[in-house]
């Protein structure tokens, strides 16, 4: 049963990240997830200093607030300071991460609170952190949190599909017909922030970043249709979660590392054999055309 809990949790995280990752890839903002996962460190430290507790809910609130601030800072630097998006992402997350490290060294040096324990979760521990109602355990807490997050993301995409589509592919037209590109940008970034913060405590920041980028990039190579891209991204994320878990068990290695590795391998397979963009597919098509 513990194996099933881990696989389901990883699949929920993978699907949540993959759906949002598609929009990040299309908007050329793929590294926002990495920025948020590192930039939330000062929020976690400040939450600890204020509350004096390492309660995970307190940490999540602090991290979530800084995660939202990160998206605002990235957009501010991009629009007001006229930095390129990648430059504003790099400046924001390195600055905030450095502040977090300084705060830890100054105020939390004697406490078991460091960048490793707050940024790199361990998915193998998911079955141990259960949700208890009364005296009855009803399963891992992460399972319910990620189930709620995934449901919220699906509803967000379903009800905001038109707005997200237009602001992603043709923001000028979206503005012309009265759709606020700024509002939908911040709604999307808020969803990314909430998903990243909710996920990395259980599965680790490295795996969250991998699942935000690799499945969406895989789907991007497989289709030019956004709806199918969302579906393929989820399939790639779940496939990486299942195969990565069993490879980790077989090798007796890191589960998060194995899942991230499989996400990369699936991407490489798509890069080589994609029906429209695959390297080998294009080569074979050119060879066949030349022979004919």
DSSP label of 224: S
Give me the residue spans of the domains in the chain: 2-205
pLDDT the model gives residue 120: 53
User: Facing residues of 133 across strands?
Assistant: 136
pLDDT the model gives residue 135: 75
- Strands (E) across the chain are located at 130-133, 136-140
pLDDT the model gives residue 114: 46
| CATH T-level fold of 2-205 | ABC transporter involved in vitamin B12 uptake, BtuC (1.10.3470)
Phi, psi dihedral angles at 131 (to 5 degrees): -95, 125
User: Facing residues of 190 across strands?
Assistant: none
- Closest by alpha carbon to 85, among 95, 71, 98? 71
Contacts of residue 292, defined as CB under 8 A and 6 or more positions apart, other chains included, come to none
- Cβ proximity of 237 and 226 under 8 Å: no
Give the helix ranges, DSSP H, for 27-84. Answer: 32-39, 41-51, 56-79
pLDDT the model gives residue 270: 92
pLDDT the model gives residue 70: 84
pLDDT the model gives residue 131: 72
d(CA 238, CA 30): 19
Greatest extent of the chain over all pairs of C-alpha atoms, in Å: 74
**Which residues, given as ranges, of the chain have pLDDT below 50?**
113-117
pLDDT the model gives residue 191: 86
- Cβ proximity of 60 and 6 under 8 Å: no
**Pairing relationship of beta strands 136-140 and 130-133 according to DSSP bridges:** antiparallel
pLDDT the model gives residue 108: 59
Q: Is the dihedral of CA 209, 213, 218, 222 positive or negative?
A: positive
Instruction: State pTM to two decimals.
Output: 0.86
Phi, psi dihedral angles at 225 (to 5 degrees): -105, 125
**Owner of token pair 């598609």:** 22
């Amino acid at each position: 049963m513990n194996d099933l809990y881990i696989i389901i949790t990883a699949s929920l995280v993978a699907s949540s990240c993959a759906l949002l990752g598609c929009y990040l890839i299309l908007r050329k903002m793929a590294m926002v997830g990495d920025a948020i996962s590192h930039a939330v460190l000062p929020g976690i430290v400040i939450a600890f200093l204020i509350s004096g507790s390492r309660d995970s809910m307190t940490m999540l609130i602090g991290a979530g607030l800084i995660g939202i601030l990160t998206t605002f800072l990235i957009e501010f630097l991009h629009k007001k300071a006229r930095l390129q998006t990648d430059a504003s992402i790099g400046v924001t997350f390195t600055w905030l991460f450095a502040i977090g490290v300084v705060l830890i060294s100054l105020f939390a040096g004697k406490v078991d609170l460091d960048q490793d324990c707050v940024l790199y979760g361990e998915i193998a521990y998911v079955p141990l952190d259960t949700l208890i109602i009364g005296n009855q355990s009803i399963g891992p807490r992460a399972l319910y949190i990620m189930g709620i997050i995934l449901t919220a993301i699906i509803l967000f995409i379903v009800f905001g599909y038109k707005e997200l589509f237009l602001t992603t592919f043709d923001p000028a037209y979206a503005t012309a017909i009265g759709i606020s590109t700024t509002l939908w940008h911040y709604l999307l970034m808020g969803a990314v922030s909430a998903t990243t913060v909710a996920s990395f405590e259980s599965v680790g920041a490295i795996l969250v970043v991998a699942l935000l980028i690799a499945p969406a990039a895989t789907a991007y190579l497989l289709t030019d249709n956004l709806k199918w891209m969302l579906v393929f991204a989820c399939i790639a994320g779940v496939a990486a979660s299942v195969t990565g878990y069993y490879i980790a068990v077989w090798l007796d290695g890191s589960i998060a590392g194995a899942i991230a590795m499989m996400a990369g391998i699936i991407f490489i397979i798509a890069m080589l054999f994609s029906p429209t963009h695959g390297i080998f597919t294009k080569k074979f098509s050119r060879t066949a055309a030349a022979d004919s």
